[in-house]
Amino acid sequence: MDQQRAEDDAPALAISDDSTGADAGHWTNGSAGRERALITYAGYIGWTTPADGLVDDMPMWRLYTGQARDTVRDWGWLDAVHPDDRERVARAWRDAASGAAPYEVEFRVRRRDGVYRAFLDRGVPVVDDDGQVREWVGFLTDITERKQSEEERSAVLISEREAARASEGALLAANGRMNEFLGIASHELKTPLTTILANTQYLARRLNDSRTRTSDPEALEAALETVRTVIDRTARQTARLTRLVNDLVDVSRIQAGKLELRLAPCDLAPLVTEMVDEQRQLHPERRIALELAAEPPVRVIGDADRLGQVLANYLSNALKYSAEDQPVTVRLARDGDRARVSVRDAGPGVPAGEESRIWERFYRSAAVTVRSGSGIGLGMGLHIARTIVERHGGEVGLRTRRGKGTTFWYTLPLADPVESVATLTCQPAGRRPARP
C-alpha cells in the first residue's frame, strides 16, 4: 500500500472538513469514505480552524488518531502529537496564527493503533476582501517513508564519511610509518656498508704496509692476524646486510603474493637443533637452552628454509632484546595434532596494547630498546614470520609479562603418518641450494 505521494501533488489533494448532516461530529457515508480514502491511500489529513487558530473539530484528524471530538477542541489535538514534538509544534502554530503567516512544521502523530508516523503539516490563512483572516485551512502529509529514506541515506553518508576519514587516517599513518621506515632502512643499510668500506680500506693499507715488513716474521704474523679479524668483522656485516636485503625482498614478494614455499615432509627436531647450534656459534657468550619435549621425529609438511627463517627471527629478537647474562630457551613440543616451537627470553616484555601490532609490517615499538648486540632491524621480521607460518596453515602468537620476558611461538599441523612416510630429516636452512 503506497502511503506517500510527491510533495508537488499535495495541494491538489488537500481538503477541508466536509462535515455534513445535523451533527457536525458525524459524517455521511460519502464524506467519511472520501476522508478515509485520502488518509489510507494518499496519506493526507485535511483540517480547518477558525480565525483564532483554536480547533473546534478536525474529523479527519480524529479518524486517524482515534481521539474523540471533545478531546480535540482547542489544544487537545496536541495529545496525539509525540511528547518530544508538542512544545515545538504548539509554538510554531501559535506564532503562525498570531501573525497570519503560512504555517509549516514536521512532527510525529500517534495513529489510533498507537504507532507514531511522521507528518509534514502545512496551513495557510483564508483572508476576506477586507484583509481579515476568516479561517485557516491546511493538511498533513505522511512523510514517514521519506524520512526513513533520508535517515538511511544520512546513515550511509555518515558511514561513508567515517570510512573515508578512517581511510585517510590509515593512509597518513601508513605514510608516517613508511617515512620512518625509509629513515631506519637508510641507516640500517648504510651502517654495514660503511663498515665494509672502512674494513676494505684498512685491509688495503695493511697489505701495503706488509710489503715493507716481509723480513720480520713476527710483524707479518701480527698483520695477518689483524687481517683475519677484519675479514671476520666484514663477513658479519655482509651477513647482516644480506639479511636486511632478503627481508626487503621477502616483503616485496608477500605484497605481490609471490612468496615461494617449497613444501616437503620433514622432521622439525634436527631443523630446530641446527638453528640453535648456529646461533650458539654466532653468539658464544650467550646461553641458549634447547628443550626437545617431543620425541623425534616431529613431522610436518613445510619449507625448511622458511621455517628456519622464522625460528632465526625469534632467536635473533630474543638475544637482541634481553641482557647478555640472561638465558634464552628454545622448545619443541607436540600440542595435540600440532607441533609447537617457542622461544622464551627474559627481556623487558612487549608493552601492553602492542601484542598484535608488532606483527604489522614496518612496526617497531618505541618502548623497547636493544639490550645486546647492535642493530634495530627494519620492523619486517615478525611480519614475514607470521606470513610464512600462516602460509603453512599454522598460527603465531606470544605470551608476555612486562619486565619478566616474552615467549614467541608458532604451531604447525603435524603431518599425516602416511603422507610423511618418506621423511628422513629436513635439510636445515643454509644446507640447501640457494633460492633464485
CATH of the domain at 342: 3.30.565.10
Helix (H) or strand (E) holding 160: helix 144-211
> What's the pLDDT band for 423 if we cut at 50, 70, 90?
very low
- Tell me the C-alpha distance between 281 and 253, whole Å: 30
CB atoms within 10 A of CB 314: 28
279/402 same-domain check: yes
Question: Does 45 share its domain with 108?
Answer: yes
157-161, 277-281, 315-319, 333-337: least confident range: 157-161
Contact 65, 80 (CB under 8 A): yes
Do 287 and 394 lie in one domain? The reply is yes
Query: Are residues 195 and 111 part of one domain?
Result: no
Task: From 250, 232, 233, 229, select the one nearest 192 (Cα to Cα).
Answer: 233
Question: How high is the pLDDT of residue 100?
Answer: 85
Residue type, 219: A
Half-sphere exposure of 213 (CA within 13 A, CB side): 15
* pLDDT tens digits along 91-134: 999 999 888 889 999 999 999 899 999 999 999 999 888 888 88
Residues 232 and 272 in one domain: no
pLDDT of residue 332: 95
Would you say residue 420 lies in a domain? Answer: no
Residues 156, 161, 165, 168, CA torsion sign: positive
Give the number of other CB atoms < 10 A from CB of residue 252. Answer: 11
Strands 103-110 and 116-127: antiparallel
186 assigned to some structural domain = yes
DSSP H or E run through 270: helix 268-282
Same domain, 296 and 222: no
For the chain, give the mean pLDDT.
77
Mean pLDDT score, 79-99: 92
The half-sphere exposure of 47 on its side-chain side, counting CA atoms within 13 A, is: 28
Closest CA to 309 of 341, 275, 358: 275
Cell numbers for 407, please give them. 615467549
In angstroms, rounded to a whole number, what is the distance separating the alpha carbons of residues 316 and 38?
A: 80
Q: Write the CB contacts of 388 (distance below 8 Å, at least 6 apart in sequence).
A: 259, 261, 303, 306, 307, 309, 310
How many structural domains are present in the chain? 3
Query: Between these two residues, 417 and 380, which has the higher pLDDT value?
Result: 380
The total of other beta-carbon atoms located within 10 Å of residue 213's CB is 13
The domain of 301 spans: 264-413
**Residue 236 is inside which H or E element, if any?**
helix 217-255
pLDDT band at 239 (very low <50, low <70, confident <90, very high): low
Mean predicted confidence (pLDDT) in 172-192: 61
Which of 301, 315, 312, 364 is CA-nearest to residue 343? 315
Q: For the segment 253-265, what is each residue's pLDDT rounded down to a tens digit?
A: 777 777 888 899 9
Higher pLDDT, 65 or 3: 65
Is 44 within the bounds of a domain?
Answer: yes
